[in-house]
A and B are shown apart, each in its own frame.
Chain A
Amino acid sequence: MNNVLQLVWLVPFFPLVGFLINGLLRKQLPKSLISIIGSGMVLASFIVSVLLFMEVKNGNTQVVNLFDFINSGTLSIPFAFQIDQLSSLFLLIITGVGFLIHLYSAAYMHEERSEHFGRYFCYLNLFVFSMLLLVLGANYVIMFIGWEGVGLCSYLLIGYWFKNTEYNNAAKKAFIMNRIGDLGFLIAIFWLIAKLGTVTYTTPEGSGVFDLYNKLTRTDIIGITLLLFVGATGKSAQIPLYTWLPDAMAGPTPVSALIHAATMVTAGIYMIARSNILYTMAPETQSVVAAIGLATALFAATIAIKQNDIKKVLAYSTVSQLGYMFLGLGVGAYTGAVFHVMTHAFFKALLFLGAGSVIHAMHHEQDIRKMGGLAKHLKITHATFLIGCIAIAGIPPFSGFFSKDEILAAAYEKDHLYYYLGVAGAMITAFYMFRLYFTTFWGSFRGTEEQKHHLHESPAAMTIPLIVLAILSMIGGFVGLPEVFNMGEHKLEHFLAPIFEASTKAKELVHPEVATLDHGTEIMLMSISVGVAVIAILIAWARYIKKPELNEPAGFGKVLADKWYIDELYNFIIVKPLNGLAKFMNSFVEKRFIDWLVNGVGRTVNYTSRQVRLVQSGLVGNYVLLMVLGMLALFVVKFFLKK
Chain B
Amino acid sequence: MLIERYIYLAIALFCIGIVGVLARRNAIIIFMCIELMLNAVNLLLVAFSKMHLAAALPGKANAGIDGQLFVFFIMVVAAAEVSVGLAIIVMMYRNTHSVDVNFLNRLKH
Contact = CB atoms under 8 A, between A and B. Distances in A.
Nearest to B109: A618
Contacts of B25: 621
A618 B18 contact: no
Q: Which of A617, A618, A621, A624 has the most CB of B within 10 A?
A: A621
Contacts of A618: 105-109
A625 B101 CA distance: 14
B108 A620 contact: no
Interface string A612-642: 0000111111011100100000000000000
Given A628-B18, A628-B22, 8 more contacts: A616-B108, A617-B105, A618-B106, A618-B107, A619-B102, A619-B105, A620-B107, A621-B25
A621 B18 contact: no
A216 to B, nearest CB: 77
A250 B25 CA distance: 87
Interface in B19-39: 21-22, 25
Interface string B1-45: 000000000000000001001100100000000000000000000
Interface in A302-353: none
Interface of A is mostly: helix
A620 B104 contact: yes
Closest 3 CB pairs of A and B: A618-B108, A618-B105, A618-B107
Interface of B: 18, 21-22, 25, 101-102, 104-109
Contacts of B104: 620
A618 B18 CA distance: 19
Contacts of B107: 618-620, 623
B21 A624 contact: yes
Interface of A: 616-621, 623-625, 628
A611 to B, nearest CB: 15
Contacts of A620: 101, 104, 107
Nearest to B27: A620
Contacts of A625: 22
Contacts of A617: 105, 108
Contacts of B101: 619-621
Contacts of A628: 18, 22
A618 B102 CA distance: 9
Contacts of A616: 108
A619 B107 CA distance: 7
A618 B25 CA distance: 14
B101 to A, nearest CB: 6
A621 B108 contact: no
Q: Which of A617, A619, A623, A628 has the most CB of B within 10 A?
A: A619
Contacts of B22: 621, 624-625, 628
Contacts of A624: 21-22
Nearest to B107: A618
A628 to B, nearest CB: 6
A628 B102 CA distance: 18
B105 to A, nearest CB: 4
A59 B108 CA distance: 93
A619 B109 CA distance: 11
Nearest to B105: A618
A623 B102 CA distance: 12
B43 to A, nearest CB: 20
A617 B22 CA distance: 15
A621 B22 CA distance: 6
Contacts of B18: 628
A616 B106 CA distance: 11
